[in-house]
Amino acid sequence: MTDRYKYMEDLLNRFFSGETSNEEERELYRFFAGEDIPAHLRRYKPVFSYFESGLEKELNLLTGEPAEAAEPFRRAMPKRRIRIAAGMAALALILSVAALLFLRKANAFDPYEGSYIVRSGVRITDTSLIRPEIEATIQKALQQEERANRLLLSLSASNPETRIEQIQRRINRQNEEIINRFPNEMKESIRRIIENK
């Protein structure tokens, strides 16, 4: 009998190392299902009853399937849906940015906004009507400015002495014009007043 117990103890150890075959395990189940078990092995009785039948009952009570086997399958769909949703969101974003740019262009900033021209007492505020006139005026003003600049430039280009002479000559010419407007007998006295002599 002790030989049999020794054999069973050996099977027991190999069972918990994962080394027994199906056949050997059936032997273990039979042994622990019986009544002839030495005291020190008795506590294994429920353990082997579990491996023989309890395990299956538990699995059947759970789901009948390993707990997570279906998990990736269920997750695959929402992921695809998220991709579609992301695509739609991106499209909506692109469209709204395009619309924004388009509207911006339509309402482009008008520098002449609020300008008006008064013609024969009527105030014209329609910018589309007065725009050509405003632009022509601005062109003229710019040309004027340009000419003034050119004059200043030519003045500053020549040396200071000749510049003073030029100015003096111009003043003299203007004085002469003013004096010429007066009758001959007054010219001498006017000249004296203007030239401060």
Partner 1 sequence: MKQEQFKEEALPLRAQLLFYAQRLLNNPEDAEDVVQEVFLKLWYMRDELGAYNSVPALSVQITKRLCLNRINARQRRGEGLDAVNPASDLLTPEALLEQKDSVTHVMRIIAQLPALQQTILRMRHIDGFEVEEIAALTGSAPEAVRMNLSRARKKVKETFFKMQS
Closest to partner 1 by CB, 31 or 44: 44
CA-based nearest residue to 29, from 57, 8, 58:
8
Output DSSP code: residue 52.
I
Smallest distance from partner 1 to CB 52, Å = 8
Calpha distance 24→11 (Å, rounded): 7
Select from 3-11, 12-20, 167-175, 186-194 the region that touches partner 1 (CB under 8 A): 12-20
Give the orientation angle of helix 160-180 with respect to helix 127-157, to 10 degrees. Answer: 120
Select from 3-11, 17-25, 81-89, 163-171 the region that touches partner 1 (CB under 8 A): 17-25
Closest to partner 1 by CB, 56 or 165: 56
- The alpha-carbon radius of gyration of the chain (Å, integer) is 56
Calpha distance 70→73 (Å, rounded): 5
Encoded tokens for 7: 């054999």
Closest to partner 1 by CB, 21 or 196: 21
Closest to partner 1 by CB, 84 or 108: 84
Which residues ranging from 48 to 87 are in contact with partner 1 (CB under 8 A)? 50-51, 54-59, 61-62, 65-69, 71-73, 76
Smallest distance from partner 1 to CB 9, Å = 14
Question: Using an 8 Å Cβ cutoff, are 49 and 33 in contact?
Answer: yes
Calpha distance 105→99 (Å, rounded): 10
Determine if 39 is a binding residue for partner 1 (CB under 8 A).
no
Q: Which residues bind partner 1 (CB under 8 A)?
A: 15-19, 21-22, 43-44, 46-47, 50-51, 54-59, 61-62, 65-69, 71-73, 76
